[in-house]
Amino acid sequence: MDDQDHPLTHQIVQAGPDALAEMLDLERLETDFFRGTYVLEEPFPFYGGQVLAQALVAAGRTVDPDRHVHSLHAYFLRPGDAKQPTVFQVFRDRDGRSYSARRVVAIQNGQVILNLSSSFSIGSTGPDLVDVAMPQVSGPTRPYQRFHRLFSFEGALTETDVTPLSRPDRFWLRCVADLGEDPLLHAAALTYGSDISSGLVRLHGPEGRRGPSLDHAVWFHEPVRADGWLLQDMRPERTGAGRGLYSGHIFTQDGRLVATFSQESLFGAPRR
């Protein structure tokens, strides 16, 4: 779709407490075309968590409301520009009796900056088995802190973390924006927050450190509200061939594992 078909009505804004809700409120251009018009002035590349969350909302707006996202996998293809709107084109790959599959491409200036595949399900019954335990950590206590570039969220570090890191790999998060009762928006908020740090920070050294993200995946084990405290716990898996992989788990305050995610990034000697 050509942006010239629809005049741009966006304006640069200052992020307030409801910034995330405004980011996720996509404009519908056509049946399967959406546009994110929330833009802001930043001296950094487009935050990947924002385009991930918006792409998920675009996909979810094309499935029946009784179908909830259970997984997504996305590839970051080009740096985006936070000062420009993003167009999202949705492809309805399949609608079965229980599952719906969607693909989304995010476009800026006629180029694809991200593609995302996602799956939605009406849910079914089955064994509920968990082999991952929530780490023994302190709860979220004041003072709360803001994480750089993570709008509408407040965070808290765990007192049990004794190794100082440039970026924390275990912390509490909760959304302070009003997302209402829509499970899709809460899943998108969880996705938005899952990209804020990295499990590779513990491997940083003279020989290498993480670079731009390549891909990101999230598995949603059950619907969860993003406005309650969630523990995000990440760990490195492996580096090699110029790439690094880490995985992460998200738990509720009462210890339920509600999501698992992973990301692969470039990993090597810093450029001069």
N- to C-terminal Cα distance for the chain?
A: 39
HSE (CB half, 13 Å, CA atoms) of 190? 34
Question: Per the residue annotation, which of 50, 54, 197, 213 is the catalytic one?
Answer: 213
Supply 241's token pair.
Answer: 């061939």
Pairing mode of beta strands 38-39, 11-12:
parallel
Pairing mode of beta strands 11-12, 27-30:
unpaired
Supply 130's token pair.
Answer: 């968990």
Amino acid at 237: E
Question: Per the residue annotation, which of 195, 215, 262, 265 is the catalytic one?
Answer: 195
Supply 9's token pair.
Answer: 């009505």
What span, in angstroms and rounded, lies between the C-alpha atoms of 255 and 65? 28
C-alpha 66: how far from chain center: 22
Pairing mode of beta strands 230-240, 209-220:
unpaired
What span, in angstroms and rounded, lies between the C-alpha atoms of 23 and 137? 32
Residue 262 known to be catalytic: no
Question: Per the residue annotation, which of 50, 152, 263, 265 is the catalytic one?
Answer: 263
Residue 195 known to be catalytic: yes
CB atoms within 10 A of CB 122: 14
DSSP secondary structure code for residue 208 in this structure: B
What span, in angstroms and rounded, lies between the C-alpha atoms of 183 and 217? 18
Q: Which residues contact 266 (CB under 8 A, 6 or more apart)?
A: 210, 211, 212, 214, 242, 243, 244
Q: Active-site residues: which are they? A: 195, 213, 263
